[in-house]
Amino acid sequence: MKKLIIINGPNLNLLGKREPNIYGSLSFTDFLEEVKEKYPKVNIDYFQSNIEGELIDKLQEVGFSYDGIILNAAAYTHTSVGIGDAIKAIETPVVEVHISNTFNREEFRHQSFISPNAKGVILGFGLQSYELAIQSF
């Protein structure tokens, strides 16, 4: 059984409430339950934090023992050299995921410190971006 973890960054705990025109109205908890039912042969763990250092700690914790990491670092994607360096330092492949198409948004969202060290990048497919990432492993 493959062992994956989804790691979500700041404000993604508000999915379902936050800007539903961009992020939809489904909570991530509800979405995750649906995904776990859809992929019963994949062990999917989940972690969310609004704190950059906690995200780095989690990447380091799981980065040598999991089959894959699905990371939506949210706003930290565009600002965190530390998260980019953590991905470079671990062995587990990381797929960068975004719910929205970051290239349809503000200019600062076009830069990613994660992409250069990621296995791949999936963006703009709503919550389905996570499912596409699961399928990539």
Question: Catalytic residue numbers?
Answer: 23, 98
Task: Please give the Cα distance from 66 to 85 (Å, whole number).
Answer: 18
Task: Please give the Cα distance from 7 to 5 (Å, whole number).
Answer: 6
Task: Please give the Cα distance from 46 to 136 (Å, whole number).
Answer: 17
Residue 98, phi then psi, degrees to nearest 5: -140, 140
Spatial contact of 28 and 49, defined as CB atoms under 8 Å apart? no
Residue 94, phi then psi, degrees to nearest 5: -120, 130
